[in-house]
Amino acid sequence: METPDKTYTETLEALQRSGNLRNLPQAGHRDKWMIRNGTDMLNLSSNDYLGLASDLSLRDEFMKGLSERDFLLSASSSRLLTGNFPVHGELEKMLACLFGRDGALVFSSGYHLNTGILPAVADAHTLILADKLVHASLIDGIRLSAAKCIRYRHQDYTQLQTLLEKHHHDFSRIIIVTESIFSMDGDMAPLALLAELKKTYPNVMLYVDEAHAVGVRGQKGLGIAEEQGCLKDIDFLCGTFGKALASVGAYVVCSQTIREYLVNRMRTLIFTTALPPFNTAWTKFVLSRLSTWSERRDRLARHSLHVRQAIQDSGKSCPSSSHIIPVVIGESRDTILKAEDMQRKGFYVLPVRPPTVPEGTSRLRISLTAALTAEETDRLCTALATL
Ligand SMILES: *Cc1c(COP(=O)(O)O)cnc(C)c1O
């Protein structure tokens, strides 16, 4: 007799055959190392870009200064009920001040952020123009919204301009949605140009996800918008605390009106438990020191340049202009073998396969960290050259 889960089994078997079956990796952690079967591998797959999450002295310093008030491991309720603690508001004030904007709002995660804002602000009279390669959380946010959406070819701003020209009369508002550093190719959007483009029309807004850039780029670590001098021109300037900032949660900086609107309309803010005060206090602690970590940012930039150069020297193309560096292999099974090879050599690199990336572009995805030494980066380059 057929069981209700027959099609699940068939799907899993098909994934297995095509080399696309996923599982939860089992490995131990010790600061920048991953440990499996007693072997140490440098972790080149985490998002701890500045090495802050593995910095134990930083954690000790935080713990020493932590107040009784913030030593709470649960908010026990939504922000809109009894889960709103002073530390949440303080973090938002700090963000608004750092970014030089009127408003900021924090969320449980980048996934909550991206699946919540667009459905709240985009109605049936809105057109969303999104880069073809935006993150899954943004795609889900678009799907949950009532807006019409057109995806433009990755980083094709001529096409974007044509779409704006063609449609700006037909909608009450258009929202351009992009990442600043793209998660899979590590390439970078020209935010200053996008800001100029949106200003050509009175009804166009700009939504930018800086998940991979905040902490890492800009003099003060505020991201690509800071680097390109357009912090004030982005209507929804978003980022996560879970990557370089070594914490959990996410933020948008925006106008006070948008902030208030989100508090009233955003379902992934309203119907979920607020971030624990403890984690929020840690985020505040990290943010208050962000501008002092230029040396880490510079080191990461040097490592990145070096590794990208080594990949190009070995005859492979490399779209990246950041610390996220893909080595495109093509076929999934091949990619798995190459990842295993890198792991045997002491580098914890993971294969990224469809549906995360387009069919036929399976890749090793290297994400570098400032915690690496120059010598470790040299060894990595050597291993990549003989891949
Ligand atoms: C990681 C990521 C997110 C999700 O952030 P979390 O805080 O981990 O939920 C959102 N957008 C992009 C571009 C990301 O890379």
> Ligand 1, atom 10: nearest CA belongs to which residue?
110
Task: Answer whether 304's CB lies under 8 Å from 284's CB.
Answer: no
Helices (H), ranges, 201-322: 224-227, 256-265, 267-270, 277-289, 294-313
Choice among 112, 135, 303, 323 that is catalytic: 135
Domain check: are 198 and 298 in the same one? no
Domain check: are 43 and 66 in the same one? no
How far is it, in rounded angstroms, from Cα 266 to Cα 254? 14
Choice among 43, 114, 180, 183 that is catalytic: 183
Domain check: are 175 and 301 in the same one? no
pLDDT for 4: 86
Residues 6+ apart with CB under 8 A from 142: 118, 128, 130, 149, 177
* pTM of structure: 0.96
Atom number, ligand 1, closest to the C-alpha of residue 209: 13
The answer to whether residue 155 is domain-embedded is: yes
179 is catalytic: yes
Domain check: are 230 and 264 in the same one? yes
Among 291, 306, 332, the domain-final residue is 291
Classify burial at 10, counting beta carbons within 10 Å of its beta carbon; exposed 0-12, middle 13-18, buried 19 or more.
exposed
Domain check: are 287 and 298 in the same one? no
Task: Answer whether 106's CB lies under 8 Å from 88's CB.
Answer: yes
Beta-carbon count within 10 A of 11 CB? 12
pLDDT for 1: 65
The answer to whether residue 267 is domain-embedded is: yes
> Ligand 1, atom 5: nearest CA belongs to which residue?
110
Distance 382 CA to ligand 1 centre (A): 31
pLDDT for 76: 98
Domain check: are 75 and 216 in the same one? yes
Domain check: are 98 and 212 in the same one? yes
Task: Answer whether 254's CB lies under 8 Å from 206's CB.
Answer: no
Domain check: are 350 and 236 in the same one? no
CATH of the domain at 331: 3.90.1150.10
Atom number, ligand 1, closest to the C-alpha of residue 47: 1
Domain check: are 245 and 306 in the same one? no
Domain check: are 257 and 165 in the same one? yes
Distance 383 CA to ligand 1 centre (A): 29
60 is catalytic: no
47 is catalytic: yes
CATH of the domain at 169: 3.40.640.10
106 DSSP β-pair partners: 251
Give the residues of the chain that fall short of pLDDT 50.
none
39 DSSP β-pair partners: 36
169 is catalytic: no
Task: Answer whether 128's CB lies under 8 Å from 142's CB.
Answer: yes
Distance 185 CA to ligand 1 centre (A): 15
Pocket of ligand 1 (CB under 6 A): 109-111, 114, 135, 137, 179, 183, 209, 211-212, 240, 242, 250
The answer to whether residue 87 is domain-embedded is: yes
Mutate to test the pocket of ligand 1, among 135, 269, 279 (most ligand atoms within 8 A of CB): 135
Nearest in space to 93 (alpha carbons), one of 230, 290, 287:
287
Domain check: are 208 and 309 in the same one? no
Mutate to test the pocket of ligand 1, among 45, 46, 49, 111 (most ligand atoms within 8 A of CB): 111
The answer to whether residue 174 is domain-embedded is: yes
The answer to whether residue 9 is domain-embedded is: no
Mutate to test the pocket of ligand 1, among 114, 240, 243, 275 (most ligand atoms within 8 A of CB): 240
243 is catalytic: yes
Domain check: are 146 and 273 in the same one? yes
Among 254, 273, 291, the domain-final residue is 291
173 DSSP β-pair partners: 126
Torsion of CA 20, 25, 31, 33, to 10 degrees: -70
The string of pLDDT tens digits covering residues 295-316 is 999 999 999 999 999 999 999 8
Among 270, 291, 312, the domain-final residue is 291
The answer to whether residue 18 is domain-embedded is: no
Choice among 32, 88, 112, 243 that is catalytic: 243
- Tell me, rounded to whole angstroms, the distance of Cα 291 from its chain centroid: 20
pLDDT for 195: 98
Mutate to test the pocket of ligand 1, among 114, 133, 247, 248 (most ligand atoms within 8 A of CB): 114
Q: Is 183 helix (H, G, I), strand (E, B) or coil?
A: coil
The answer to whether residue 5 is domain-embedded is: no
Strands 236-240 and 250-254: antiparallel
Buried b / exposed e along 260-283 (16+ C-beta atoms within 10 A): eebeeebebbbebebbbbbbbbbb
205 DSSP β-pair partners: 175
The whole domain housing 178 covers 60-291
Choice among 70, 131, 179, 226 that is catalytic: 179
How far is it, in rounded angstroms, from Cα 111 to Cα 157? 26
112 is catalytic: no
The answer to whether residue 16 is domain-embedded is: no
What is the number of domains present in the chain? Answer: 2
